[in-house]
Amino acid sequence: MTNILSLVGRPNVGKSTLFNRLTQSREAIVDSLAGVTRDRNYGKSDWSGYEFSVIDTGGYVVGSGDIFESEIRKQAALAIEESDVIVFVVDGREGLTPLDEEIAAILRRSKKPFYLVVNKIDSPSNYLDYNEFYALGVEQIFPISAVSGSGTGELLDAVVTHFSKDADDPIDDTLPKITVVGKPNVGKSSIINTFLGEDRHIVTPIAGTTRDSIFTRYAGFGFDFYLVDTAGLRKKKKVEENLEFYSVMRAVRAIENSDVCVVMCDASTGFDAQDINIFSLAARNRKGIVLVLNKWDLVEKDNKTHKQYEELVRKRIEPFDDVPIIFTSVINKQRIFKVLETAVQVNKNRQRRVPTSELNDYLLPLIQKTPPPIYRDKLVKIKFVTQLPTPFPSFAFFCNLPQYVKDSYKRYLENRIREQWNFSGVPIEIFFRKK
At residue 304, the pLDDT reads 86
Neighbours of 428 (CB within 10 A): 19
- Phi, psi (deg, nearest 5) at residue 284: -65, -30
- Distance, CA of 410 to chain centre: 23
Instruction: Give me the amino acid identity at 4.
Output: I
Instruction: Give me the amino acid identity at 183.
Output: K
Residues paired with residue 387 on neighbouring β-strands, in sequence order:
395
Query: What does the alpha-carbon distance between residue 2 and residue 281 come to, in Å, rounded to a whole number?
Result: 15
Return the DSSP state at 385.
E
* pTM recorded for the entire structure: 0.60
With CA atoms as reference, report the closest residue to 220 among 197, 190, 254: 197
What value, to the nearest 5°, has the Cα angle with vertex 64 and ends 59 and 69? 55
Residue/partner pairs of 377-383 with CB below 8 Å, 24 or more apart: 378/404, 380/404, 380/405, 383/435
Query: What does the alpha-carbon distance between residue 58 and residue 45 come to, in Å, rounded to a whole number?
Result: 18
Return the DSSP state at 79.
H
CB 174 within 8 A of CB 248: no
β pairing state of 114-119 and 177-182: unpaired
Instruction: Give me the amino acid identity at 179.
Output: T
Kindly give, in sequence order, each residue whose CB lies less than 8 Å from that of residue 107, ignoring residues fewer than 6 positions away: 8, 76, 80, 86, 88, 114
Query: What does the alpha-carbon distance between residue 283 and residue 147 come to, in Å, rounded to a whole number?
Result: 28
Query: What does the alpha-carbon distance between residue 40 and residue 411 come to, in Å, rounded to a whole number?
Result: 29
- Three-state secondary structure call for residue 88: strand
Instruction: Give me the amino acid identity at 268.
Output: S
CA atoms within 13 A on the CB side of 348: 10
CB 165 within 8 A of CB 50: yes
Q: H or E stretch including 308?
A: helix 305-316
Mean pLDDT of successive 10-residue stretches along the chain, which has 435 residues: 81 86 64 40 80 71 48 61 87 88 85 90 78 89 91 92 66 79 79 68 33 64 75 44 55 80 90 87 91 90 87 90 92 88 94 94 93 85 93 92 88 93 94 87
Query: What does the alpha-carbon distance between residue 427 and residue 424 come to, in Å, rounded to a whole number?
Result: 8
Q: What is the dihedral of CA 364, 368, 373, 377, to 10 degrees?
A: 110
At residue 247, the pLDDT reads 54
Kindly give, in sequence order, each residue whose CB lies less than 8 Å from that of residue 434, ignoring residues fewer than 6 positions away: 398, 399, 400, 402
The residue count for the chain: 435
Positive or negative: CA dihedral 108, 110, 111, 113: negative
Assign 3-state DSSP to the chain and report helix, strand, coil percentages, each to 5.
40, 20, 40
- Phi, psi (deg, nearest 5) at residue 295: 65, 35
